[in-house]
Chains A and B, each alone.
Chain A
Amino acid sequence: MSTATPTPVKAERGVLTKKGLQADHPTWCPGCGDFAVLAAYYKTLEKLDLPQQNIVTLAGIGCSSRFPYFVNTHGGHFIHGRSLPFASGVSLGRDDLHVFVFGGDGDGFSIGGNHLDHAGRKNFRLTYVIMDNFVYGLTKKQTSPTSPQGFKSKTDPWGVFDRPTNPMRKLLSSGATFVARTHATQIKHMMEMYERAALHDGFSVIEVLSECVEFYKGAFDAGNPRKGGAFETIDEEVHDVSDMAAALALAEEPWPGKFGVYYETQQPTKNKLEKDLVEATRQKVGHKSDKELLAKTFASMR
């Protein structure tokens, strides 16, 4: 998958533009839903106008996980399934950064499924975008954890019979403090979800239905009005986003379900709790220097 590296447009400190955010030309297939996911990310960053050097774009492995190469921010392309713990370390080590993680359904719901539960429970301050295409694309059409029953893949040529993961239910039960769902063909909605997720203080996660035109064409037509489907958004006058039971009920709605913020709550972040612990502990030890503290520990072992 080698690609010619175009010279990125140079950015100026303090001026965040789309051109300044573009990097390598994306390697995705023409028509891939991921292009729109990327475009919406550029636009959201422009709108948020964060210091560019403080934005970090991270990913695991998969088509979607090539993301960091296409964005001119500090970026890291980690291993399959482990982008969340990697990003958690970045976030916890450096509270001044804005950490965004991109990945696919394989990364999030299969090989890295366990990390989702714990990143949610610990409420690290970061945003995780799962670009769900219901199929393994990079490895060319094997069954994914979200492939619906009956889907014919190379590993289930007679049609998938394992029940798929319910992504929203999984995200809700992870303990994530912001859970939303959007569709790659609805760029405005996508941007709105990104923005709210980025501004949420805690672990925010978004499922984006992003079509794989090569191996699962038409998978998300039911949620796309231009293909005869219905893009039904959540009315927050009616749906209380702090109501977990209501959110779970939304997750159980029949395909294609609703789009928008399912759940949002404010819980102390791991970042804050650890910072508070450090502050209280530093206070307790009288803000002594590291050398004095270690010398004291040694003295207690004489």
Chain B
Amino acid sequence: MPHNSANPIPAREELIRDAVIRLAGNSQDGIQSIGGFLARLAGRSAQEVMTYMTIPATISGGPSIFQVRMGTGEVLSAGDEADFLLAFYQHSYEDHIGFLKEGGVLLYDSDHVKLEEDDHRFVRVGVPISALTVEALGGSSREKGKNLFALGLLSRIFKLDVGKLREIFKERFGGKAEDVLRNVNLAFDAGFSYPIDNVLDRYFSFQSEEESEGPPQVTMDGNTALTLGLIAGGVRHGAGYPITPWSTIMEMLRQQLPRYGGVFVQAEDELAAVSMAIGFSYAGRLAVTGSSGPGISLKMEALGWATMAEIPLVVVNIQRGGPSTGLPTNVEQSDLLQAIHGSHGDCPRVVLAAENVEDCFYIAREACQLARKFSVPVFVLSDMSLASRIEAFDEPDLDALMIEPSLDTEDRPADFKPYDLERITRHAPPGTWVEGGVFPQVTGLEHDEAGHPSANPQMHAKMMKKRRSKIQQIAAELPPSQVFGDREGEVLVVGWGSTWGPIRETVIRERDCGRKIGHLQIRYINPLPNDLGEIFSRYEHILVVEMNDEGLYGYGQLATLLRARYCNPAIRSLNKTDGLTFKIKEIRQGIEAICPSPAATLQAPVQA
């Protein structure tokens, strides 16, 4: 081993804008925690960060990766290829070497990984990570702690702020037994002091950006942001049933809500969970329920009741690969039409989709507002990739955003009607006195304005219109849609949900190449904003990018909806169902396929 510290050639400093670092190991190695530390560090260093992880669908163990992309300037996607691969095992090396870009750095545990002899495409750096970790911590630790050893190595290579990292360790482990924090620091120091200069001729340093004056950055995953958005939106009650990847939201709500005087119930099943949440809301406490696809299917009958009875409710769907049990730990956006149409009958409700981790906070809060204002169930769609990936964003201004819940049991006048045809329903929850003492009924049967059953044909049509028009009123009140990039041109790339980042990055690159192209991410899925038709008319092609199947007729779920509404043949569809997020190059190829770039057209004859 080259432990000789004499180093004739000083390592060269390379200034970089951003770096994609993929850590590959097994799920029990704690690579998620190194990823988490890096993300938090980036957040505190005014750097942008985005993480991406996969976990095996097994109970414990199995290959797992954590990818961190951090850097200066806006980080929009987790990256198509890695600049840096850390491989703990042979399988980590074999499975992920294809993801490392040529000339990238491969750092591997030489105790476990044997490289292919003649593959010289990469800068190869072998470090006996396992042995050195055991040496640093003593024999009883076995290989536990090698994640921190590796973090030490990375800190050296990327000139990370060790002081800030130590603060993070202290916050994370400070409450535990003293030797825990000591061992963390020992393992980290062993990695940090390893003479990496002997084997790697360069180190990297992020281009510094002036510390901005704005609010501090916070770092969290999408499910955490969504949970905090619900709390900011005034949700204090809810019920759920465990399912991946929704569970972490219900765990957080169960632990957090009592602090705010609320309660979250783990129900016996999905049917009970949605029913209980509706019970809370009927009682005047705006509630949340949520799940992932399979559980949402089970909730559909009760959600139909909530539309019929006009009850405010927030419903979260953290989508995963379907149908049925499908791909429980992979990403997909295939529950859009279910969210809109999943209940029987004509059953209008609101559907929103969060576009990134930060938006999980804002959209959850907005869902609460809409549910209350229009007395209607509101779906929030997120997905597996947003749920677990970590991003840093500006700390929200709670002075402006916090909504305190209130229970409205003020007396109602004698002419109070729960289903007044002239007004948007605002229920009088139980406990409310009604002048004259006639109390309201809330029901899933078609009803008259007082809530009593009515099978009168005209009444059904009127009530149907009442339930529909309030959703149309939401559309009329939506803010104007924001187009990024060119306001008119060749292509408008349209997406919804977590495809926001990859689409934005693609559009930036395409514009850099001279293409007239715009990006529109639709956050309001149902109702759709009223200004889309006019926006679409300004582009030659509209490409709807979504992670779902192209269906029987060649169009994804949002594309189907947009084509039905706008009858615009320029609307095309780019889909995929491989359980992975979109790569920039996949979207670029999709654009190229419907609208070849001038450069490519010019080159064509030359190549021919």
Q: Which residues of chain A are within 8 angstroms of B454 by Cβ–Cβ distance?
A: 2
Inter-subunit contact B282/A90 (CB<8 Å): yes
Closest chain A CB from B285 CB (angstroms): 4
Q: Which residues of A contact B436 (CB under 8 A)?
A: 10-11
Docked-complex contact A74 and B432, CB < 8 angstroms: yes
Q: Are A8 and B271 in contact (CB under 8 A)?
A: no
B208 interface residue (CB < 8 Å to A)? no
Interchain CB contact (< 8 A) of A93 among B43, B237, B455: B237
Among A5, A75, A81, A86, max chain B CB count under 10 A is at A86
Contact B259 A114 (CB under 8 A): no
Asked whether, in the complex, the Cβ of B231 is within 8 Å of the Cβ of A294, the reply is yes
Contact between chains at B302 and A82 (CB < 8 Å): yes
Q: Which of A50-58, A148-156, A225-233 contacts B (4 or more CB under 8 A)?
A: A50-58
Tell which of B44, B239, B433 touches A53, judged by Cβ atoms closer than 8 Å.
B433
Residue A249 is within 8 A (CB to CB) of chain B in the complex:
no
Binds A, one of B83-91, B438-446, B542-550: B438-446
18 pairs across A/B with beta carbons < 8 Å? A1-B455, A5-B450, A74-B429, A74-B432, A76-B441, A77-B441, A85-B239, A85-B272, A89-B239, A89-B281, A90-B280, A93-B237, A93-B279, A94-B431, A118-B272, A278-B262, A285-B259, A290-B404
Q: Which listed residue, A8, A73, A85, A118, touches B279 by the CB 8 Å rule? A: A85
A88 close to chain B: CB less than 8 A: yes
B306 to chain A, nearest CB (A): 10
**Complex Cα–Cα for A134 and B40 (A):** 62
Least distance between B441 CB and chain A CB atoms (Å) = 5
A295–B258 CB distance below 8 A: no
A13 with B280, Cβ < 8 A, contacts A92-B265, A93-B285 known: no
Q: B258 contacts which of A52, A53, A281, A302 (Cβ < 8 Å)?
A: A281
A89 CA to B396 CA, complexed, in Å: 31
- Lowest 9 A-B CB distances belong to which pairs? A89-B279, A11-B437, A85-B272, A85-B275, A74-B430, A89-B276, A2-B455, A118-B268, A93-B283
Set of chain A residues within 8 Å of B396, measured between Cβ atoms: 298
Q: Which residues of B contact A82 (CB under 8 A)?
A: 271-272, 275, 302
Known: A1-B455, A92-B279. 18 other contacts (CB 8 A): A53-B433, A73-B439, A74-B430, A75-B440, A77-B443, A78-B305, A82-B271, A82-B275, A90-B280, A91-B279, A92-B276, A93-B279, A93-B284, A93-B285, A94-B284, A277-B263, A281-B258, A302-B216
- Chain A nearest CB, measured from B166 CB (Å): 16
Question: Is B228's CB within 8 Å of the partner chain A?
Answer: yes
Report if B592 contacts A (CB, 8 A).
no
Interface assignment of B408: CB less than 8 Å from any CB of chain A: no
Comparing B132-140, B217-225, B598-606, the segment that makes contact with chain A is B217-225
Cβ contact within 8 Å between B43 and A302: yes
Closest to B432 in A: A53
- A297: interface (CB < 8 Å): yes
Q: Complex formed: what's the CA distance from A253 to B168 in Å?
A: 67
CB-contacts of A279-302 with B (<8 A): 281-282, 285, 290-291, 293-295, 297-302
For chain B, the bracket of interface size reads: 35 or more
A69 at the interface (CB under 8 A from B): yes
Q: How far is the CA of A117 from the CA of B220 in the complex (A)?
A: 38
Is there contact, CB below 8 Å, between A86 and B430? Answer: no
Q: Which of A8, A11, A13, A96 contacts B431 (CB 8 A)?
A: A96
CB distance from B169 to the nearest CB of A (A): 15
8 Å CB contact of A302 from B44, B444, B445: B44
**Which residues of B (180-226) have their CB < 8 Å from a CB of A?**
216-220, 224
Residue ID in chain B nearest A114 by CB atoms: B268
CA distance A115 to B271 in the complex (A): 9
By a CB distance below 8 angstroms, the chain A residues around B444 are 77-79
A87 vs B283: C-alpha distance in the bound complex, in angstroms?
Answer: 9
What residues of B have a CB within 8 angstroms of the CB of A237 in the complex? none
**Given the complex of chains A and B, what is the CA–CA distance between A254 and B462 in angstroms?**
54
Q: Which residues of the other chain, B, contact A77 by a CB distance below 8 angstroms?
A: 441-445
Contacts of A74 in B (CB 8 A): 428-432, 439-440
| Inter-subunit contact B398/A298 (CB<8 Å) | yes
How far does the Cβ of B423 sit from chain A's closest Cβ, in whole Å?
19
- Find the residue from A52, A75, A79 having the highest chain B CB count within 10 A: A79
In the bound assembly, the distance between CA atoms of A229 and B453 in angstroms comes to 38
B437–A294 touching, CB < 8 Å: no
Asked if B162 is at the interface of the complex by the 8 Å CB criterion, the answer is: no
Q: B99 in the interface, Cβ–Cβ < 8 Å?
A: no
B33 to chain A, nearest CB (A): 15
- Provide the bound-state CA to CA distance between A73 and B438, in Å: 8
Partner of A278, one of B261, B283, B442: B261
* Contact between chains at A278 and B258 (CB < 8 Å): yes
B442 lies within 8 A of A298 (CB): no
B286 to chain A, nearest CB (A): 10
Whether B267 sits at the interface, judged by CB under 8 Å, is yes
Contact flag A69-B282 (CB < 8 Å), given A53-B430, A77-B444: no
Identity of the chain A residue whose Cβ is nearest the Cβ of B263 in the assembled complex: A274
**Chain B residues, CB < 8 A from A282:** 258-259, 261
Question: Does any Cβ of A come within 8 Å of B352's Cβ?
Answer: no
The answer on a CB contact under 8 Å between B443 and A76 is yes
Closest B residue, CB atoms, query A73: B439
Contacts of B404 in A (CB 8 A): 290-291
Asked, given contacts A75-B439, A93-B280, A114-B268, whether A294 binds B430 with beta carbons under 8 Å apart, the answer is no
What residues of A have a CB within 8 angstroms of the CB of B456 in the complex? 2
> Which chain B residues lie closer than 8 Å to A285 at the CB level?
259
**Closest CB in chain B relative to A102 CB, distance in Å:** 14
Q: Is B368 an interface residue (CB 8 A)?
A: no
| Bound form: Cα–Cα A118–B272 in Å | 10
* B451: A residues at CB distance < 8 A: 75
Asked if B278 is an interface residue, CB under 8 A from chain A, the answer is yes
Q: Is A68 at the interface (CB under 8 A from chain B)? A: yes
Tell me the smallest distance from the CB of A201 to a CB of chain B, in Å.
18
In angstroms, Cα B185 to Cα A302, docked, is: 21
Report chain B residues within 8 Å CB of A91: 279
A61 nearest CB neighbor, chain B only:
B444
| A301 and B431 contact, CB distance less than 8 A | no
| In the complex, chain A residues whose CB is within 8 Å of the CB of B428 | 74
Report if A75-B279 is in contact (Cβ < 8 Å); known contacts: A2-B454, A301-B220. no
Q: Can you name the residue of chain A whose Cβ is closest to the Cβ of B305?
A: A79
| Complex Cα gap A68–B256 (Å) | 35
Give the CA-CA distance A10 to B228 in the complex, in Å. Answer: 45
A236 beta carbon closer than 8 Å to chain B: no
